[in-house]
Amino acid sequence: MFEYATTVRLFDTDAAGVLFFGNQFRLAHAAYEEFMEVNGICFDEILRDGRIMLPITKAEADYQKPLHVGDRLTIEVRAESITEHSYTLSFQLKKEDGSLAGHIRTVHVCVDARTWEKTPLSTALKDALQSIHS
């Protein structure tokens, strides 16, 4: 498991002062980017290289508790599955008291940037994902 700490900011919330539903995905994606960077997989290099893309092909979210401005969170990232061409990530958003505020799942597929055909995950990416495989 990889852990990412963050705080709900004012711009994350809606007019009611509660986390805007779409921003739960933004928080999870920030945790994903940090996980990748910590493991030496930088999106800027992937984009500059131009050989592969890692699009999200499915995303789902569950909301268990409201989150407000100033709430501190720990986002736990796990790899639920890893195949030759894809991986599924699970994100648990936990409040300071350890209670679950939300859960996200995303499915990513590695594709050739020119043809958009599936292509194998790199060894480095597989190794990083294996380190958080549940």
Residues serving a catalytic function are: 14
The C-alpha atoms of residue 29 and residue 92 are separated, in whole angstroms, by 12
Strand partners for 107: 58, 88
**Quick one: tokens of 97?**
């008291």
**Quick one: tokens of 75?**
């986002």
Burial class (CB in 10 A: 0-12, 13-18, 19+), 69: middle
DSSP letter string over 7-63?
A: E--GGGB-TTSBB-HHHHHHHHHHHHHHHHHHTT--HHHHHHH-SEE--EEEEEEEE
